[in-house]
Structure 1
Amino acid sequence: MYMKQENRADPDTLLQKISRSEMGKLTVLLGASAGVGKTYNMLETAHERLREGIDIVIGWVETHGRKETEGLVSGLPVILPTMITYRGKTMQEMDIDAILVRRPDIVLVDELAHTNVQGSRHVRRFQDVEEILKAGINVYTTLNIQHIESLNDVVAQITGIIVRETVPDYVVEQADNVQLIDISPQDLIKRLQEGKVYVAGQAEQALQNFFRQGNINALREMALRFMARRVDSDLSEYMREHKIDGPWPASGKVMVCVGASPFSAQLIRAACRLAAGLQAEWLAVHIETNDRFSQKEKECQRDRVARNMRLAEELGAKTISIAGRDLLHELLDVARNNNVTAIVIGKPQHSRLRDLVHESVVNKLIRYSGGINVYVIQAQKEQQNRNTHINTEGASVHGKWQYYLMSFGMTMAISGFGWFFKDLIEIINIALLYQLPVTLSAFWWGRWPSYFTAVSSMILFDFLFIPPILTFTVYDLRYIWSFITFLIVAFVIGGRTEFLREEAALARQRERSIRSLYSFSKEIAAVVDLETITRSFAIQAADTLGRRVMVLLPDEHNQLMVCAEHEAGVAVEQYTNHLIENSAEAAVAAWVFAHCEAAGHSADTLPSAEYLYLPLFTQERIVGVLGIKIIEKLITPEQRRLMEAWAGLAAIAIERVQLTEKAREAALLLESDKLKSTLFNSVSHELRTPLSSIIGSALTLRDAAQHCSYEEKNELWDNIIDGGKRMVRVVANLLDTARLEGGTFQLKNDWCDLQDIIGVALRQVEDQIKERPIQFNIPSDVPIVRGDSRLLEQVMVNLIDNALKYSPSNSPVEISIVTDKNRVQVSIADRGIGIPTADLSHIFDKFYRAKQIESNINGIGLGLSICRTIIEAHNGKIWSENRKDKGAIIHFYIPLHEQDKMLMDQEGGIFNGH
C-alpha cells in the first residue's frame, strides 16, 4: 500500500530559526554590478524608516563622490569611522564598538565584500556585520553579484577579471531579505557616460573593460538566476512549514576532490554551484598521500591545501581529510560511506600518450564509480606565483650530500666483500648482495639516496664482476637485461621502502596524538584540582602539538589570567597566575572569551596575533580560552581539528572541576541549612521548657506567695534554679561547639589527675545525683596524664549527665578506670534503656538523638559531640557500646607518651592514688 509521506519540519532548520530569532535581521540589496543604485535605494529606504520613528544610523556608506548619494546621506545620523594607521598612512574603517554601544534599531553598512585594513578586528566586513547581527541589531547592506564566492570563477570567465573581494554564500543565503536592484544595460551605460557612477577618467576605462554590454547582460542574468534560486528556496521552505505537498527534488550529496593545486579552488566553487542547483549537501575531501616532494615543497602544498579546505568550509561544505595509499580507492571508499551521488574532479592536463602508459585517475574513477555521477571540470594551466616560488639553490631537494656519501660507502663495502670472496660466491649471489645497501639507503635516508646507490651498485657490479673485468664493456648481452631488471627492482624497493617509512611516521604521529588525548583524559578522570589539571593539560598539549600552549581562565573579576603555560621541548616551569604581557594578545583573548569564537593567527578574525585562540566552551557556557602559538601562515584542517579536540577536552575537564566545586558548595550550603533548622528546632524546644518553668514558678511566687507553705516555696525556687541551670547548659554547649569547630580554642596541656577531675564533675551534677548510687572501680595507681583539665572536666560532666538522664532514678552509675603502659581508659556505665544498634555509630554526631529515647528527656544532642571533639583534640578516642545485661557504657582513653613519663620520673611522682 502506498502511504503518503508526512512533510515535517527539519529539526536543524527549527533550531537555526530559534537561534536566529535572537539575532538582528539582515537585508541585502543585490545588484548585477556597480552603478545600478543599491546604495541610493538603501538610503531612500533609510529616510522612510526614519520618518516612521525607527532609530536608524549610517555605519558606513561609500558615496564615490556622487552628488545624489551625498544628498541622501545628509539628514541621517552617522556613526563616525575609526582611524587605523597602516604603513604610515591613516585610513578609515567602520567603528564596530561605537555601533554596539549606540545599539540602533537599524544600521546601514555599504559594500559588504570590502576587505578591512590590516589591524582591524576582522579581516572582512561581512564578519563585522555578523558581529553586529549577533548583538541583535538589524543591518541593511549592499552587494554585487560578482562578489559571491561560488560565482567567482564564472565572473572571471565572463569578464576576464578576477574579483579578489568575495563573500561566502552562506552570508547571503541566511539573509532574512534579499532585494534585487536592477536597471537595463543601456541605462547603466548611460549613467556611466554621464559620470554618475565614476569620475570621467575612470568611467571611460570601465566602459572599455568591465562594463561592456555583453558583460552586463551576463552579470544581470547571473543575478536573476540567483534570485530565482532564492525564491525557489523560500517557496520550498514555505511548503514544508505549511505541509503543502508538491514535487520535491531528489536528495543527493556532492563530493569534490581537493588537492594542493590552485585549480582546486575552481573545483570547489563548481561543486558549490552544483550542490546548490541540486539542493544537496556536499563534501570537500582531501586524500593525503606520500607524494614525493622536498620538505619545502611539502610545506607549500600544505599551505595550499589549508587555503582550499578553508574556502570549502566558507562555502558550506563538510570537509574530510584522510591519509591513504591509493587515491582512487580512498575516494570511492569515502563516496560510498557518505552516500555520495556526484563527484566533481578536474580534467587531467597531461598528454594522451601518458594515459596510454599510465591511466589517469579520472578515467579510473569513471570506470569504477558505478552509480555515482562523475563531473569532470576543464582545468586551466596553473601559474606559479613568484611569491611562493621554492628556491632550492645551494641545497639539494633530494637530501643531504652526507647521505649519498654514506650510501656509496656501503656500496664500496659490498664490492670489497664480493671481490674478496668472488671465488667462493656465485655471481648471482653477489648481485643480490648489492640490493642490501639499496634497501638500507631507502629505509634510513629516503628514495633519492637509494636510487643513487642502485646506479652506483650496477656500475661497480659491471666494472668488478662482469667479464671483461675492470672495464665497463659487456660482451654477453644477457647481462644487459640483468642490469635493467636490477635497476627496476632497486627502484621499486627504494620507492616502496621510503613510502612505508613515511607512512609509518605519519601513523606514529597520529597514534601519538590519540594516545596523548586518551592519556590526558584518563589522568584527569579522578583529579578535581584545577591547577593540576590546567598545568598537566598545558604540558601534554604542547608536547603533542609541538607548539607553545597557554591556558587562560577568568578570575573573580572575569579577567583572563594565564593559569598554565608550556612550550614543547622546554623543561617544565612553575607558573603563577598572571596577565598576558602583550596587550594586543590580551585583547584578542578577551574578544574570544566574550564572543565564544576562534580568533588570532590563521583565523579570519584578528589574524595579526601571534597565537591562535580557541574558546574552551561546553554546551552550557565558555569556561576559558586556549592559546596556541602558530609559526606558519596557515594550518591544515587536520591540525585545526586536533587543536579543537584538545580545546574540547580541556573545556570538559575544567567544567567538571568547577561543577564539582559548585556541588560541594551546594552540599555544604544544604548541610548548613539543615544544621540551622535542627539548631533552631532544638534550641527553641530546650529553651522554651525551662523558660516556661521559670516564668510559671516566678508568677506563682509573686501572686500567691502568702498562700504557699515553706515546702511549696522551696519547690518553686528549686524549679527556677533547675530551669536556669538547664538554660546555662544549653547555651554553654552551643558556645563550646562554635568555639571548638571554629578552631579558636587551644589545649592548655598540663598534668591532670583524673580522680580529681571526676570529683569536680560529680560536684557539678550533685543536684542530679541526690540519692543515686555512684559506684567506682578506680585502681590506686592511676597515672597523671597531660591535658586540659577544664575541658576534661566538661567531658566527665557531660558523660555523667548523659548516664543519669537515660537510666532509672534508683539505678547506679558506674565509673571505672583501666590503665596500661600506653594509655588511660575511663568508662561510664548505666543500667538504662541502652542504645539502639543502628545509632551506636551516630550518637556522637551534632544534634543527633537516638530514635527510641523518650521524648520527655531533655537535650539537643550536643553533649556527646563536644566530648568527641575534646577527646580527639587530646589524640584520644571515644566510643559507645551496650552492656550484655542492660544499659549502655561509654569509653574514652587518653594516650600516655614516653616523653611525659620521662618528665614525670624527673619530677619524682609517677602515680598518685586517692
Structure 2
Amino acid sequence: MGERRGRLAVYLGAAPGVGKTYAMLDEARRRVARGTDVVVGYVETHDRPHTCAQLEGLEVVPRREVGHRGSAFTELDVEAVLARSPEVVLVDELAHTNVPGSPRAKRHEDVEVLRAAGIDVVTTVNIQHLESLNDEVRRITGVVQRETVPDEVVRTADTIQLVDMAPEALRRRMAHGNVYRPERVDASLSSYFRVGNLTALRELALLWLADRVDDALGDYRRRHDIDAPWPTRERIVVAVTGGPESETLLRRGARLAQRAGSSELLAVHVVAGDGLRPAGEQRVAHVRRLVAGLGGTFHSVVGEEVAEAVVDFARGANATMVVVGVSRHGRLRRLVAGSTGDRIAALAGGVDVHLVTHDEVARSTRWRHPGPSPLSRRRQVAGWVGALVLPFLVAGLLQAFDETDQLPLAEMLLLAAAVGVALVGGLLPALLAAAVSFLLLNLVFTPPYGVLTVADPANLLSLLVYVAVATGVAVVVDTASRRAISATRARAEAETMGSLSASVLTGQDTAQAVCARVREAFGLTAVALLEHGPDGPRTLALDPPGTDPDVCAGGGPDGDGRAAAVRIDDTHELRLAPSTLRAEDRRVLEGFAVQAGLVLEYRRLREREERAATLEGAEATSTALLRAVSHDLRTPLATMRTAVDGLARPADGLARGDREALVAAVDGATARLERLIDDLLDLSRVTSGLVRPVLADRSLEEVLPTAVAGHPPGTVSLEVDEDVPLVRTDAGLLQRVVANVVDNAVRVSDGLPVRVLADVRPATVEVMVVDRGPGVPPERRTAMFEPFQRLSDTSPGGLGLGLAVARGLADALGVDVVAEDTPGGGLTLVLSVPRATAPEGAA
C-alpha cells in the first residue's frame, strides 16, 4: 500500500451550511454498500440531526485528545488511522488548524501523511477558506478567515465536487434551525448570511471551480495531443499589429465577446517582419492599455510567419474565433502574395475567422527609399573613391602583363574589387564600381578592343553574368552590413533600455533618478520631468540639479523649441536639451517613456492603496471604538449614576458605611473613566503621529517606581539594582509605557505578583515585566498589540487599548517591545530601552 499514493476527493462548499459534510457521509455510505473499507477519521456534525443520522452505521476511529492551557481538545488521530489502514478515510474541515501540541500544525498536513501511506481521503472545505480568496471574502463579508488552506492543496485534488445551494434556500434552511442553534439564527441571517454575501460567495466558488475545470481540460488535451479547439467556452483572439486599425479590431472583438456572454478577449501581437511598418513602443503600449480597459489580456508572440503564429496561439488558447483586419496592402500585392487574413482563414480549421474592414483598407504603402546609409561619412567617401579608382588600378595592373586572354582573370579581380567597395562604402558605390568594371571589361579585355562592341557571344554572356553577380553580391553585402549595424544598434538600445529600466524598477524610481539616468545614457546637457496640470506645467525634477529651468523650456514634439519633448503619458513628459536628437535615440526614449509611465502609475496606485489602507484601518478603529465604548463607558457611568442617586437621599436614611462605599464607587468609576479617556487620547495621538518625545539621559529609578505605583501591596514587585546605567528616553512617555504594560500584567495574573526587572545589555537596558497569568499563544502575540484586543471575551475591564498605546509610545521612543514565554507559565514583556550616550573621553 505504501507504494501507491492515496487519492484526494474534496467536497467544496459555496458557503457554510450548504451540506458538504452530509454529501461526504452520503458518499461514504454508498462506498460501504459497495464493499469498500471506509472509516471516519474526523467528522464535525455540529449537532445537526440529519448529519448525525448519516454518521450512524459508519466505523469511527477514536480521536486523539490534546491538552492545551488546562483544557482538553480532540483532533484527528493520524497514527490510529494508519494502524487501522482502511481503503478510504473521511476527514472533515481541511482548513482546520490543529491545537498546539499536535504533531502537525494544519489538518491538510495530516491528510498528506495519510495519502503518502496509500489511503484515499475524502474531505470538505468551504470556498472562503482558500488562501487566494481570503482578501475577497473579507471585503465581501467583513469577516477575516483565520483558518485557510493553500489553493494548491485543493487544486491538485483528484476530484472536486461543488456543493451549492441557492441563497434563499440556505436562508430558509437556517431559519428552520437545520444549520445553527436557534439563538444564533437571527444574528447570522442579518450579518454573514445576507443574500448579497451568499450570492457573491457562490459566484466565487463557481468561478474558481471553472478555472480548475478549464485547467483540467487543457491538461487532457495536451496529454492526448488534441490540437483542434474544443468550444467549451468562448475565447476571442484579436490579431493586432499595433497599427492605427488595432483599436477598431479590439473594439469589435470586445463587442463580440460581450454578445457571447462570459467569454474571454485575448489580443495577440506577432513580433515578425510581415511587410508592414513595425509598430513603435508607444503604439504597442497604447494597445496594451486599451486591451486592459476592455477587460482582455495582451500577449506578444514571436513567429516567422504571422498567420501561422496567430493560428498556433489561437489553438493553444482553445479559441473559438479569430478577429483579423482586412489587409492594408494594395490590390496588386494582395493578388500576388495574398493577405494575412486569407492565410489565417486557410489555416484556422475549426476556428472561426472574422474579417473586419477599417479606414486603412486599400491605402497601399508606397515604395520607400531604404533610408540614409548607416555607414559613416568617411566610409562612404572611401567607397565612392574606391568605385572610381579600383577598377582602373586592376585594369592597369593586368595591362602590365602581355597576355592574350585576360578576361576571366579580369572578371574575378574586378568582382573582388566590387565586393570590397560594397564592404567599405555600401550599395551605391558598389553598383558604380560594377558599372565601371563592365565598361573596362568591354573596352579593354573583350575583342574588338577599344569599342563597345562584343564580337564573341560567349564573351557577351560572360559580361552580363559578371554584371548580375556583381550587382547581387553588392546588394547582399550591403544588406548584411545594414543588418549587422542594426543588430549592433539594437543590442546597444536593449542594453540602454535594460539599464534605464533597472535603475527605475530596482528602487531608484524617483523623478530625479529618472532624469539623471536619461541624461547620462544619451549624453544630454539637461533633462527635466514635467507634470502638466490646470495651472500649467510644473517641474518635478531637473538634472543636473541647479540647472536653469529655461534650458529645458519651449519643448515640442518635433524638437523645434529650445528642448525636445518626449511624452510619457497624458500629464507627464520629458524635456531634453539639446533639442537635436537622432531618430534612433528618440525611439529608445519613447520606449523608456512607456516604462517610466508605468512606474509612475504604479507609484500612484501604491499611494492610493496606502491611503485606502489607512482609511480602512481608521474605519475599523472607529467601528471597534463604538462597539467598545457602548459597553465599557456605560458601565462606570451606570455605577456613578447609582452611587449619586444613593448619595442624594436624605442623610438620615443612609448609614455612614454605605455612604463611604458609595463615595468610593464614584471615585473608582471616575478613575476608570479617566483611564479610558487617557487611553483614547493617547491612541489618537499615536495614530495621528503627534507624539514628539523629548529625549534626555534619565535614570530608571525616576521612572519605574512611579510607573508601578497605585497597585495594591503584594501585586507588583520592583526588582531593579541601583547601579543600572542611565537610559536615553522621555521619562513621562516611558513611564506611561511601563504603567500600561504592568496594568495589563496585573489584570491577567489573578492575584499572583508581577515582577519588574532590569537587565543591562551593551546598547540597551531591558525592562522585563513578568507575569504568571495564562500567557498568550505565539500566533496571537502580534494581534494583542492592536487596538481593542483582549485576552478573552471575559477579561475584566478596559477597551483593550493599554498594550496598543504602549506599543505606539514605545515606537516613538525607539523602544522595542517583545513578548516571550515566562518559564513555568505566563508572559514576559521585554522593553529594550537605549542606553545613554557615554560622554566623550569616558573610559
Could you state the TM-score of these two structures normalised by the residue count of structure 1? Answer: 0.42
TM-score, scaled to structure 2: 0.46
